Structure 1
Amino acid sequence: MAFLLHYLFITAIISAVSFLLHRSSRHRRLRLPPGNLGLPLVGETLQLIAAYKTENPEPFIDERVRRYGSIFTTHVFGEPTVFSAEPETNRFILQNEGKLFECSYPGSISNLLGKHSLLLMKGSLHKKMHSLTMSFANSSIIKDHLLVDIDRLIRLNLDSWTDRVFLMEEAKKITFELTVKQLMSYDPGEWSESLRKEYLLVIEGFFTVPLPLFSTTYRRAIKARTKVAEALSLIVRERRKEYERGAKKNDMLAALLAGDDKFSDEQIVDFLVALLVAGYETTSTIMTLAVKFLTETPLALAQLKEEHEGIRAKKSESEALQWSDYKSMPFTQCVVNETLRVANIISGVFRRAMTDINIKGYTIPKGWRVFASFRAVHLDHNQFKDARTFNPWRWQSNSGISCPGHVFTPFGGGPRLCPGYELARVELSVFLHHLVTRFSWEPAEEDKLVFFPTTRTQKRYPINVRRRNRSFS
């Protein structure tokens, strides 16, 4: 018996070594993009994380692009990964979703969002659910149903502001309340605030080692995710009973319950968890950074104020914004575009090669992960003049500069284009309108940007605010 076990052990080792040597030999025969796989197991993960914990993470990609070119190989989050800092390659990756590439994210994100989340869905189910989500966030729905709640809830939040606020914290409250309302028809209250605090812990766990024994952050995130799922499960069960009794509401949860697919409670909860993350984290950060960039660019802030004071001058103080008001904010849209470009809340997307893929003279082996970096393109001086300077005027129609769609991709692209892209723009525009027409402000202290685990300011961007009177003095 001992001999047999020894034999099997030796055979397993030889087989494993042979497989690795065969794979290594195969990879040598392929023309891989140049690069460096770094240290065993960890690769260059530590260098990537260290860069993104600073105010300037660009050198991580800049140095490798200078050394290897705009497509290079590295090893991050446990896997060899091909990075693309080139718009044409990024477009190729996005457009071939489900054909040559499939969605792939680090295990920590997958575990925390749930296997039924929109981010991880594939094939026909993803196509159907993506379409359903877009149908609840298109221009017509925003105009006819959502705008009134957006305006009301933003006003409600700003009414509570005192002399000093942490802008990122307030923006998170706003976007979470808006998302809960749009998904489940719940107005803000103790329940939504308690749920939001658990979400903070979930998001902190996204880019940690997905092993509870080795990461207290990930362990807290898993516990918080369980609490979030339990709270949402109660809502789903209650709404399912209401639906069976004939009660109907016009929200995402109602559409999921009424669908022909007969989704289970677990599937619906996973779907809602991911949508809450998407609608909450990214939009609130964009709100905060738009204000930060505007504060640091007085001429842009002055022009924005002028645009919104012109809109507000035609209305009573309590009168809500209409769709026609939103459509008459051209400079605001320039500010939105430039904030999205410079901030890069979605820095890029992970995909996995479904087969050996030839591109730009290189081969990406089947099973390898790729990362299409939107950030690298948005901050490339070859694509945008003075790319790392906040300049909303570059988006004006008379600037003489045109930007191809595959160069500016703040919401991704292809079949996985963010379904809430128009909703995010409207929420930010309405927020800026009420902010600049009701308050003046100044930073309470110096604050810096960091980009890991998510894009944020170190101190939640504290500002001292002062209410303005109706004459906009």
Structure 2
Amino acid sequence: MDFLLLCLLCSCVLYVFFLIIFPRSSRFNFRKLGLPPGNLGLPFVGESLQLISAYKSENPEPFIDDRVNRYGTLFTTHLFGEPTVFSADPEANRFVLQNEGKLFECSYPSSISNLLGRHSLLLMKGGLHKRMHSLTMSFTNSTIIKDILLVDIDRLVRLNLDSWTDQVFLQDEAKKITFELTVKQLMSFDPGEWTEKLRKEYLLLIDGFFSVPLSFFFTTYGKAIRARRNVAEALRVMVRERRKDSNKKKDMLAALLGDGEGGFSEEEIVDFLLALLVAGYDTTSTIMTLAVKFLVETPLALAQLKEEHEEIRAKKSSVALEWSDYKSMPFTQCVINETLRVANIIGGVFRRTTADVNLKGYTIPKGWKVFASFRAVHLDQLHYKEARTFNPWRWQQSNSGSLGGSTGTGNVYTPFGGGPRLCPGYELARVEISVFLHHLVTGFTWVPPEEDKLVFFPTTRTQKRYPIKVQRLHRLV
């Protein structure tokens, strides 16, 4: 907080200096340049401090609402060191997503690139990205989940939940589950000493994504860089061992290794695996946690969810779930849809223009940043009735728009992005969350924390990691 106040004070001094030195007529003219209207804020820091301050609160919406009311759904601002066109418009967002690799390219700070590696799926471009994305989709489609992955998903979820004691931090436990599931799916490793050691390194690695990028050994970023080296080395050793292993497995790593000329280089494989472990670790686990939080705060929804899963369990002689059970969870899918919409784990994406781009009557210069905000669209009252209320029943009537459902086109619901960079694991995430919710509501009762607020910066999470007191109803293994 002291650092932010210091930045704000320095910026105010610089802003006054800026006003004195430069006459009003020479300042930024949005209309003359063909840009959306807006405000670049303070020199150097722009409106970054206002954005960070808003997203550290439980209600960041006024940051967007105020600017949309003043300028419209496309406005110009200055975020994280660069002038940026901010889009709260579903049609503009779709245009940005669909023109990936043509008019726009992904753009992230070098600090994130250093931690993920240039061959991560998030950062790679062109033909290599298309090939890797297609490969990932082929290992996360519904057929593969049904025939291969579901057994392990169900087993590992039950194994983790069965180890719970009287009180657990749900956010931490969910992350442990999703990490172990991702390691199993990518590399066929069951939980053990190797996976737990790797997970502890990942805790340090992920902390570095949203820290000041100073590489001193005592800084958060410096510790993250060292953790990244340790993770990469562990994966590198494992990749070399698998190359020599005559017992071929049918997992993602086997496809990456390939046969003959079909495989990828060691560096590409390590970066790719490292980044997928990051993705699988954080996003799905957050949805698991927030689904429980929202359900607790909406007792009728929790009661209906429990009823759906008790009916499934009553028809079975085993606690293990099958594909037909997963397909018998319509209200669970409504809960997941609504959690994704309200929580907005991926609030939006940054892209950089590769040419001058005409968008909704404006011209965005080559090299400018564009932020396509999914959150702004998901929580817009024009697209969803009572948009900022958790209402899973809206998805039962989403076609007609009644009961608070969506009143617009498919462009207004994009929790997994879209275009060539559509999240390849979206179906897998749904299955993992569904299995988790089933075993939680049929295997336990729990008492939630008296209060645990949501914050949205640097990532969406609960402040206190959502501690719950649990009581087991039956054994899960």
1:102 counterpart SS class: strand
**Could you tell me how far 1:39 is from its partner in structure 2?**
2.1
Aligned CA distance change for structure 1 residues 441 and 217 (closer, same or farther; 3 Å): same
Question: Is 2:427 the partner of 1:422?
Answer: yes
Q: Distance in 2 between matches of 1:215 and 1:120?
A: 27
Aligned to 1:247: 247
Aligned to 1:12: none
Aligned to 1:103: 106
Aligned to 2:291: 290
Q: Distance in 1 between matches of 2:458 and 2:248?
A: 39
**Could you tell me how far 1:105 is from its partner in structure 2?**
1.4
Question: Is 2:354 the partner of 1:354?
Answer: yes
Q: Is the 8 A contact 1:445 1:462 kept in 2?
A: no
Aligned to 2:145: 142
Aligned to 1:183: 186
Q: Is the 8 A contact 1:204 1:453 kept in 2?
A: no
- Cα deviation code 1:6-64 (max 9, x no counterpart): xxxxxxxxxxxxxxxxx999987421111122222222222211211111111221111
- Cα deviation code 1:384-408 (max 9, x no counterpart): 0111100000000488316422110
Query: Where in structure 1 do 4 or more consecutive aligned residues deviate above 4 Å?
Result: 23-29
Q: Is the 8 A contact 1:393 1:399 kept in 2?
A: no
**Could you tell me how far 1:224 is from its partner in structure 2?**
1.4
Aligned to 2:23: none
Q: Distance in 1 between matches of 2:285 and 2:398?
A: 30
**Could you tell me how far 1:68 is from its partner in structure 2?**
1.3
1:440 counterpart SS class: strand
Aligned to 1:56: 59
1:358 counterpart SS class: strand
Q: Distance in 2 between matches of 1:452 and 1:202?
A: 17
Aligned to 1:229: 232
Of 118-127 and 402-411, the range deviating more from structure 2: 402-411
Structure 1, unmatched stretches of 5+, are 1-22
**Could you tell me how far 1:343 is from its partner in structure 2?**
0.6
1:382 counterpart SS class: coil
The amino acid of 2:463's aligned partner reads Q
Aligned to 1:160: 163
1:396 counterpart SS class: helix
Aligned to 1:405: 410
- Cα deviation code 1:419-438 (max 9, x no counterpart): 00000000000000000001
Q: Distance in 2 between matches of 1:72 and 1:459?
A: 35
Q: Is the 8 A contact 2:31 2:37 kept in 1?
A: no
**Could you tell me how far 1:368 is from its partner in structure 2?**
0.5
Q: Is the 8 A contact 1:209 1:215 kept in 2?
A: no
* TM superposition score normalised by structure 2: 0.90
Q: Is the 8 A contact 1:208 1:215 kept in 2?
A: no
- Cα deviation code 1:247-305 (max 9, x no counterpart): 21111111000163542211111001111111110000000000000011100000000
Give the number of equivalent residue pairs: 444
Q: Distance in 2 between matches of 1:183 and 1:24?
A: 53
Q: Distance in 1 between matches of 2:218 and 2:196?
A: 26
Of 394-403 and 292-301, the range deviating more from structure 2: 394-403
Q: Is the 8 A contact 2:35 2:364 kept in 1?
A: yes
Q: Is the 8 A contact 2:296 2:302 kept in 1?
A: yes
Q: Distance in 2 between matches of 1:357 and 1:302?
A: 49
1:383 counterpart SS class: coil
The amino acid of 2:439's aligned partner reads H
Q: Is the 8 A contact 1:117 1:274 kept in 2?
A: yes
**Could you tell me how far 1:319 is from its partner in structure 2?**
3.6
Question: Is 2:205 the partner of 1:198?
Answer: no
The amino acid of 1:294's aligned partner reads L
2:145 counterpart SS class: helix
Q: Is the 8 A contact 1:167 1:462 kept in 2?
A: yes
Q: Is the 8 A contact 1:295 1:442 kept in 2?
A: no
**Could you tell me how far 1:106 is from its partner in structure 2?**
2.2
Structure 2, unmatched stretches of 5+, are 1-25
2:209 counterpart SS class: coil
Q: Residue 436 of structure 1 is aligned with which of 436, 441, 445?
A: 441
Aligned to 1:464: 469
Aligned to 1:18: none
1:83 counterpart SS class: strand
Q: Is the 8 A contact 1:108 1:208 kept in 2?
A: no
Aligned to 2:371: 371
Q: Distance in 2 between matches of 1:276 and 1:459?
A: 24
The amino acid of 1:332's aligned partner reads T
1:228 counterpart SS class: helix
Q: Is the 8 A contact 2:83 2:368 kept in 1?
A: yes
Q: Distance in 1 between matches of 2:397 and 2:248?
A: 44
Of 404-413 and 25-34, the range deviating more from structure 2: 25-34
Q: Distance in 1 between matches of 2:451 and 2:97?
A: 38
Q: Distance in 1 between matches of 2:474 and 2:342?
A: 33
Aligned-residue Cα RMSD (Å) equals 1.9
Aligned to 1:265: 266
Q: Is the 8 A contact 2:258 2:264 kept in 1?
A: no
**Could you tell me how far 1:78 is from its partner in structure 2?**
1.6
1:75 counterpart SS class: strand
Q: Is the 8 A contact 1:87 1:377 kept in 2?
A: yes
Q: Is the 8 A contact 2:165 2:470 kept in 1?
A: yes
Aligned CA distance change for structure 1 residues 262 and 324 (closer, same or farther; 3 Å): closer
The amino acid of 1:84's aligned partner reads S
Aligned to 1:392: 392
Q: Distance in 2 between matches of 1:85 and 1:438?
A: 41
Of 216-225 and 396-405, the range deviating more from structure 2: 396-405
Q: Residue 120 of structure 2 is aligned with which of 117, 121, 128?
A: 117
Q: Is the 8 A contact 2:449 2:467 kept in 1?
A: yes
Aligned CA distance change for structure 1 residues 215 and 67 (closer, same or farther; 3 Å): farther
The amino acid of 2:148's aligned partner reads H
Q: Distance in 2 between matches of 1:326 and 1:284?
A: 19
Aligned to 2:277: 276
Q: Residue 80 of structure 2 is aligned with which of 67, 77, 81?
A: 77
2:86 counterpart SS class: strand
- Cα deviation code 1:425-457 (max 9, x no counterpart): 000000000000011111134111111111111
**Could you tell me how far 1:199 is from its partner in structure 2?**
1.2
